[in-house]
Structure formats: structure tokens, C-alpha cells
Homo-oligomer: A and B are copies of this chain.
Amino acid sequence: MVETFKALGDKLSNWGRWGVDDQKGTLNLITAEMVRAASGSIRSGKVFELSLPLGHDGPQRGGHGRFNPQHSMSVLPGEFATPDGLVVTDDVLILPLQCATQWDSLAHVGYDDKFYNDVTASESVTARFGASRNSIDAVLPGAVGRGVLLDIARLRGVEWIRAQDDPIGPEELERAEAEQGVRVGAGDILLVRTGWRRKAIVEGWSKEWITVNPGLGLDCAEWLCEREVSVLAADNWGVEVQPSRTDGAYLPLHCVMLRDVGMMFGEMFDLEDLAADCLDDGQWDFFFSAPPLRVVGAVGSPVAPIAVK
């Protein structure tokens, strides 16, 4: 029920915890000491980049504000010619900031006209200036620290979890920890693999892919807070299971985590190669870095996340 998630949000609220002007939310959980310690997860020096291609062959289906990026060349070879034979090219991109691999800022989802830290939604975001509070450029450098991958698709023994399957709950996250021999701790950046990216590789993009997805249930909210996770990302567009299993609530986990807890979500991360490597060497943690672009007033940002093992 709607009351359920709002009560939960109230219970888990971090409003004021890092000051009334705070815009970083649970990113504050990452201390310099944690970043330093995370460098210890770099053991072999392998680097994994976790983004989807930004091109017109992407997951979006069109419609207002949700299209695949449009790339165009503004200068081609030979068009800016100087006597020394110089060749220069240049290009322009049009992209919905959340069209592919991306961060939700804390100004992306809220409820009852509030975003994180008591910011009034309707007053803080305008067509003219974007978000004046909780925008993505307020969190730079963003999530840099220790990352942990939990591979739930593998735990269930499936290529990918289906949208209609049981949502991922806290006990399943803990079973994955036990199975993988890793523990999610304070300040950690948690990556959850549902296999939904794998589905797109096998079947191609589809209306189903971008309309529903497997993911975390609302009952993960408390667990994420107890473990003091700093940010959460997944290999699908919604992170939380879609459609929601909470009656009358469309994005209840977003609502609680982004608005009340102050935790950013990362979406459409490509975890395939990283997961394969982790399975191979049994190391499921890594140094992680995924700064958003410093887009002034933006409510989301494309990102090229990296995991270094």
C-alpha cells in the first residue's frame, strides 16, 4: 500500500542527518579513509567499464524526452582545410540524460512534492534553470570507493530473472553474499546483477525490456540502510522490480531511497564482463568510480562507470 512506503520512508529518513543544506545524501557515508581502503581492492589492475553504447541503437522507444541519443558531425575531414593538410572533425550529441547508463540525481524522484532533505519539488526545478537543489552537479565527484557486485541471476541459476519473478529481497542479497564470499559494508557502492542486460544482448532491445524489469523489492530498503550502502546500481532501467508489487505505488523503492534516504540509483549498468571476471577469480569487490557529468541543474547524468580489480 501507498501508506507502507511512506511510513517506511519516514522511518528511514536521513533528512537533516548531514545538515539541512546537504545535497549528497548517502554519498556522505563514503569517507576518505574508505576510499583509501578501497584502493586495496585493486589487486591485478584489470579495469572494467560498465556503460551501454550511446547510439541510436539503444533501449529507448521514442516519445517525449525518451529517445536514443542523436549524434551528428559538425565538421568532417576536408571541411576545415588549411594549407598544411590539417584534418579536423567535430561533433554534437543530443541525449536524454537518462537514456542509457546513468545516475538518477536526488532531484529525479520524490513524492508529495518533496525531494531529499525537505526540498520542495515544485519550487526547486524549473524549465529555465533545471534543478536548483539536489541536481547531479551537486554530488561531484559522486560515487568513488569500494564497489561490491551481487549476482542474483547467477544465484538463481538463470540467464536473467524475469520481470514477473519474485522481487529480490534482503535475505536473497545475504544469500548472494554468503555464496560469493563477500560482505556489503558501510559506504559500499552496491551493484546488483539481474541479467536484464544479458536479455538485451540475446534478444535485442524490445518494448518489454524498457517497460518492465526484475529488481529489488521494497523490503530491501531497510537492509540497504542497515548496511549503510552509499549508492545502488543495477543492470536494468529501474533497479527496483517493475511493475511494483506495492499496491498503488509506482516506484516505491525509488521514493523511499532517493527522497527519504538520499541514495542515488544507477541504472542500465552493463555488468556482464565484470560479473564473469568476478566469478572467475572469486573477487567480488573492486575500486569503483563513476562521476556524473557536471551538467548544471541536471536531474540525471550519463556515466561511464569503471571497476578496477
Residues of A within 8 A of B (CB): 2, 5, 31-40, 42-49, 51-57, 60-80, 82-98, 101, 107-115, 121-122, 124-131, 137, 140-142, 144, 248-252, 255, 287, 289, 291-300, 302, 304-306, 308
> How far, in angstroms, from A35 to B48 measured CA to CA in the complex?
12
- Which partner residue on chain B sits nearest A302 by CB separation? B293
A231 to chain B, nearest CB (A): 14
A/B interface sample: 26 pairs, CB < 8 A: A5-B84, A33-B45, A35-B46, A35-B308, A51-B293, A53-B137, A53-B294, A60-B62, A71-B130, A71-B295, A71-B296, A75-B127, A78-B122, A84-B250, A85-B113, A87-B121, A89-B121, A89-B125, A91-B130, A91-B299, A92-B95, A93-B94, A94-B94, A101-B294, A140-B304, A289-B289
With A42-B35, A84-B249 as given contacts, are A304 and B287 in contact (CB-CB < 8 Å)?
no
Contact of A55 among B54, B68, B295 (CB under 8 A): B295
The number of times this chain is found in the oligomer is 4
A135-B284 Cα distance, complex, nearest whole Å: 31
- By the criterion CB–CB under 8 Å, are A128 and B79 in contact? yes
A92 touches B97 (CB 8 A): yes
User: How many Å from the CB of A74 to the closest CB on chain B?
Assistant: 3
Least distance between A100 CB and chain B CB atoms (Å): 8
Tell me how far the C-beta of A151 lies from the nearest C-beta in chain B, rounded to whole angstroms. 21
A225 to chain B, nearest CB (A): 21
CA distance A114 to B78 in the complex (A): 11
Q: Which of B87, B124, B298 is within 8 Å of A111, CB to CB?
A: B87
Contact yes or no, B300 A91, CB < 8 A: yes
- Taking a contact as CB atoms under 8 Å apart, the answer to whether A77 and B125 are in contact is yes
Tell me, rounded to whole Å, the shortest Cβ–Cβ distance linking A11 to chain B: 17
Contact of A84 among B73, B97, B248 (CB under 8 A): B248
Query: Is A98 a contact partner of B90 (Cβ separation < 8 A)?
Result: yes
Contact of A86 among B255, B297, B306 (CB under 8 A): B255
Determine if B298 and A91 form an interchain contact, defined as CB atoms under 8 angstroms apart.
Answer: yes
Partner of A295, one of B32, B45, B69, B130: B69
A291 contacts across to B, CB distance below 8 A: 49, 51, 304-306
Q: How far is the CA of A110 from the CA of B88 in the complex (A)?
A: 7
CA–CA, A298 and B88, complex, Å: 13
Q: A89-B299, A93-B97 are in contact. List 11 more A-B contacts (CB 8 A).
A: A32-B46, A49-B141, A49-B294, A65-B91, A72-B73, A73-B73, A73-B130, A74-B128, A77-B124, A89-B121, A292-B304
Closest residue to A126 on the B side, CB-wise? B79
Q: Which chain B residues lie closer than 8 Å to A129 at the CB level?
A: 64, 79
Q: With a CB–CB cut-off of 8 A, which chain B residues contact A308?
A: 35, 39, 144, 289
- List B contacts of A55 (CB < 8 A): 295-297
